[in-house]
Structure formats: C-alpha cells, structure tokens
C-alpha cells in the first residue's frame, strides 16, 4: 500500500512538473508572439512611411512633368492659355500685311530664324537641365532606399523579421 501511495505521489509530481513545464512554454510562446507582433507593427509603420514618401515623390514628379510640358509647349509657341489661336492668327496676318518689300521679308525672316534658334537653344538647355534633375533625383532616391535598407539591416538584431 505504501508503494502505491509513493507511486501515486511520484505520478502526481510528474504531472505537476509537466504542468509547470507547459506553463513555462506557454509564457515563452506568448513572449515570442508579442515580439513578432511588435516587429510586424514596426515593419508596417516603415512600409507606410515609405509608401507615403513614394506617393509624395510621385506627385512631385507629376507636377514637375506637367510644368515642364507646359514650358515646352510655351517655348514651341503652343501656349493656348496665353495666346488663343484666333488672336495668334490675327497677329500673324497683321505682321504679314506690314511686309511690303523683299528686304522687309528678308529682315523678318532673319528675325524669325534668330528667334527660332534662340528658342531651340533654350529648349535644349531646359531638356539638359531636366535630364540632370531626373538623374539627381533618381540617385537621391536610390541613396535613400539604400540607406533605409542598411538601417533596417542594422536594427534587426534579435527581433523576429517578417518579409514584407
């Protein structure tokens, strides 16, 4: 009978030890879950911040593109907001009527060619400036992404990372 009591106590102690072990595992699992949740929240915030920045950059690029397109149209003389077509045609007809001699025509032609050359040079300069700005912005964006990647890689020690 004492053997069965000792056996019962031994089994009870084993069960209690098993229960304690399971409680400890449960606490560790909850700690791991909380750490993973915090990591996921951190990555969500970083993702949202980067997405917001990309949207802002895209808006800025769209505005810049629209501005440059308007400037190109203006340099080409197609700025319909400042010179509607009817006024432009009337002004051209008035200038043509003022030309009386071949010399007047030659003078006007030289003037128009010079203006065309000046506008072509201004357009070329603007295109080069635009290309340089695009390259600079692309480089800056690449550097920012690289910096963010390095920062993420450097702050990831010991925390569970989830791929986004």
pLDDT in tens, 106-137: 898 898 899 999 999 999 999 999 999 999 99
* CA separation for the pair 100, 159 (Å, rounded): 85
Joined together, the tokens standing for residue 39 give: 């990591």
161 token code pair:
């990372």
Q: What pLDDT is stored for residue 86 in this prediction? A: 54
Residues of the chain with pLDDT under 50: 83, 157-162, 164
Q: To the nearest 10°, the Cα dihedral for 59, 61, 63, 67? A: 180
Q: What is the C-alpha radius of gyration for the chain, rounded to an integer number of angstroms?
A: 38
CA dihedral 88, 89, 94, 100 (to 10 degrees): 120
Are residues 164 and 40 in contact, defined by beta-carbon separation less than 8 angstroms? no
Q: CA–CA separation, 3 vs 38, rounded Å?
A: 52
Token pair, residue 94, equals: 């008035």
In this prediction the pTM is 0.36
Domain boundaries, the chain: 1-82, 83-158
């Amino acid at each position: 009978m004492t053997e069965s009591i000792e056996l019962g106590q031994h089994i009870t102690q084993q069960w209690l030890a098993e229960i304690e072990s399971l409680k400890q595992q449960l606490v560790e699992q909850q700690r791991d879950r909380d750490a993973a949740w915090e990591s996921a929240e951190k990555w969500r915030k970083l993702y949202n911040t980067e997405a917001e920045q990309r949207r802002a950059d895209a808006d800025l690029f769209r505005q810049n593109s629209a501005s440059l397109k308007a400037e190109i149209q203006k340099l080409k003389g197609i700025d319909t907001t400042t010179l509607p077509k009817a006024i432009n045609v009337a002004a051209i007809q008035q200038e043509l009527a003022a030309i009386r001699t071949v010399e007047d025509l030659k003078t006007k032609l030289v003037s128009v060619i010079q203006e065309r050359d000046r506008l072509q040079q201004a357009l070329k300069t603007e295109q080069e400036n635009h290309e340089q700005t695009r390259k600079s912005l692309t480089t800056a964006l690449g550097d920012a992404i690289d910096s963010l990647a390095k920062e993420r890689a450097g702050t990831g020690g010991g925390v569970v990372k989830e791929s986004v």
